[in-house]
Amino acid sequence: MLSVFKYFSKNSSYKNSKKFLIVGLGNIGLEYENTRHNIGFEIINKLSKKIEGSFETQKYGEIHKSKYGGKQLLLLKPNTFMNLSGKAVKYWLSKEKINSKNLIVIVDDLNLDFGISRLRPNGSDGGHNGLKSIIKSLNNSKFTRLRFGIGNNFKKENQVDFVLSKWNNDESLKIDELAIKNVEIILSILKNGIEFSMNKFN
């Protein structure tokens, strides 16, 4: 009995349902600011302001530690560039002893119309290189992803140029409001859980 008790005591931090890693995906550098591929950064910046705090440069990214509704939050903007996002995510999950079930990843999605948001508790990478890197690094696809639609108004051969391009004038007028809406979705996940939030916002 004692050995069993010691085992669960030693590993209980991985069972902590009140500790979350929230990751906004994007690319670092001024040339990538306000681009479609960086909507994860935009939303997590809004979240950081909402829960009051600021980011600090640490290993593999910008980190903001905070609390909300009795839960411990770790906000992460990886500095590894999109294709190596998994390296940062895996490091911080391990360092902070957070179960991957409490991982929330914010990504852009070409398969959704502009401004449409979709919550999923698991799934494939959907062709997104950031998700692909995370799934490969964790060997696990069972984590929450919040997808933000960026549309797909481009010719097939111009996909890379499209996702790395800046919002057009009409989109730029709506981005702040839409980012705030996605902050509400994340806070709902933390407060009410993924199932409730999917039913409410999807």
Residues serving a catalytic function are 37
φ, ψ dihedrals at 34, nearest 5°: 60, 25
Q: Is the separation of the CB atoms in 143 and 131 below 8 Å?
A: no
List Cβ<8 Å contacts ≥24 apart for 127-133: 129/82, 129/83, 130/25, 130/40, 130/82, 130/83, 130/85, 130/105, 131/25, 131/85, 131/105, 131/107, 133/82, 133/83, 133/84, 133/85, 133/86, 133/87
Q: Among 96, 95, 120, 93, which Cα is nearest to 106's?
A: 120
